[in-house]
Amino acid sequence: MEYIDKGICAPKGFKASGIHVGFRKNKRKRDLALVYSETRCAAAAVYTRNKVKSAPIMVNLEHLKDGMAQAIICNSGNANTCAPNGVEVATGACRLAAEALGIDEKDVIVCSTGVIGERMFLEPFEIGVPKAAKKLSYDGSTAAARAIMTTDKVAKEIAVSFEIDGKECRMGGIAKGSGMINPNMATMLCFITTDANVEPAALQKALDADILDTFNQISIDGDTSTNDTVALLANGMAGNAPVTCQGEGFDTFCQALRKVSVALCKAIAADGEGATKLLECVVSGAPDKDVARKVSKTVIRSDLVKTAIFGRDANWGRVLCAVGYSEPEFSVENVDMRLASGSEEVEVCNASVACDFDEEAAKRVLSRKVVRLLIDLNLGSESAIAYGCDLTYDYVRINGSYRT
C-alpha cells in the first residue's frame, strides 16, 4: 500500500471540479464542488449526531436508502441549516446536478458548509452547476478540495493504491474542517472515492467501523456541527471480485480506508482555527477500547491542556486531571505519562506521581509542530489515539467575527 497523487480523482472513473458561483462574496474563493463517477457507485455515509441537522443530511438519508450514488455536490459559505426553504434548495441542487450529468436525481449526494441559520437560495446552484459539470476533470481534486473550505488554511486531499484479488485498487479523499470540530459521527465534511468493487453493505460496515477510531477521535473545540458528513463511493472499476462483509478483501479494504482517514484526520486537526501544533493523545494499557477512546478524546478536548501546549508549558497535571474526569470508570492509581515529539520523549509522571524531568527538554518537545501525549493506564492491552490542536489567541479572533 502506498500514497499516490490526484486525491479524490486517483481512482478510475472519478472526476471533480471546484468553481466560484456566488455563495461567497470573495470571488477569488471557490465555493461549489462537484464530484462525479462515470458509473453508478455503491455508497455509504455517516452523519452528525447533533439533534439539529442540516437540510442536505435529511435529503441524503432518503437518497442513500438503496446504498447507491453517482455524484456529490457541495457548496461552502452557507450551511443550509435552519433555512426556511432548506430542503427545497438541497433537493433542487440534486435535480440540477442530475440534469447536468444525465443521472438520476436520487443518485446525487448534497452537502453544504458555512454559516448556520442563514437563508439559502437556489440561484447560485442554477448558475453554477452547469459550469461545474463542464469543468469536471480527472485532475480536479485540488479545485474541489478548495471549494469546500471555509476557515481552512490548506486544502486537504490524499490518495493510496492497494491490491485486492490481484487487481490494483485506488482510494482518494478530500476533507474540510477547521472549527466547530468535535464529530460524533464540526463543520466537518469528508468525501472518499474508490474504484474497488465493494458491496454496499460491506462499504457501510467498513465506514461505520472506521470512524470510531478516526473521525470520531478528532476535536478542535468540542463543538459538534449540524452538518458533519463522511461519504464513501465505490464504483468497482478496478475489476476485483466483489468485496463482501468479511474475508481478506474486506480486511485489505479497511486497511486502505484507515490509511486515508487517518491522514485526513491529522490534516483537519493540524489546521484547527488558529492552531500552531497538531496534538495527538495516545492512550495505552486501557481495560477496553471504549475507555481508551474516551480518555484520549477527553484529554485533547481540554482547554487547559490545549493552552498549556500552546504556551510550551509542561503542565502535565492538567493532562492527568482530564484523564481523571473522563467518563468511564477505571482506576487512576498507576498512570504513566510522557511528552513526545519525533524520537524525543520526556517522562513527567510515573504511577500517577510526579517524577523529576528536564524542563528545557520538555519545552523543546512542546515547541515542535507535532506533540504527542503518551498515557499508559496500566490496566490492560487496549489503546486508542485522538487528534486535536493547541488553543491560541487566534481561535478567539477568528470565531469572534465568523459571521460578520
**Active-site residue numbers?**
187
Nearest 5 degrees, angle CA 172-CA 1-CA 174? 15
Task: Report CA-CA distances (Å) from 380 to 217, 298, 322, 362.
Answer: 20, 19, 20, 28
Check: CB of residue 296 under 8 Å from CB of residue 384: yes
- Determine the number of helices (DSSP H) and then strands (DSSP E) in the chain: 11, 15
Torsion (CA) 311, 314, 316, 318 in degrees, nearest 10: -20
Residue 342 CB-density burial (10 A; 0-12 exposed, 13-18 middle, 19+ buried): exposed
Check: CB of residue 315 under 8 Å from CB of residue 396: no
Could you tell me whether strands 14-19 and 108-115 are parallel, antiparallel, or unpaired per DSSP bridges? unpaired
Check: CB of residue 35 under 8 Å from CB of residue 8: yes
CB atoms within 10 A of CB 89: 26
Grid coordinates belonging to 147: 471549494
